[in-house]
Amino acid sequence: MTSLKINENAAPIAKLQDLDSNDALEIYSKRNGLVVYTANALDNTLSFTRGLGRPQMGIAMEAQTLPDTHNHPGFGDITLSANEPQSYTITYRYLKGN
């Protein structure tokens, strides 16, 4: 695992916080989009190691460049040229609350 220093002047693109414990997760990225999946469709017909499924029992967050750039030039360029590597960094920071 690589440890990256977060630019303290950068604002997170997303923050999840538990209001009871004040624990939080911050996500940093230079990508201009964030996809959020909240597992609303899960129900008790799904069995997991720790019990039955239920709506909103999990969340997934994925930073990415906004799609449909050919119709919205302000979304940025998503062109991937042959033989030109492209990489992006997404950094997560866990903040312990109380």
Per-residue pLDDT of the chain (98 residues; tens, 9 = 90+): 555 566 666 889 999 999 999 999 999 998 888 999 998 988 899 899 989 999 888 899 999 888 888 898 888 888 889 999 988 889 999 999 88
pLDDT of residue 6: 64
CB-based contact 11:98 (threshold 8 Å) = no
How far apart CA 62 and CA 91 sit, in angstroms, is: 11
How many other C-beta atoms can be found within 10 angstroms of the C-beta atom of residue 54? Answer: 13
Closest CA to 86 of 21, 30, 43, 42: 30
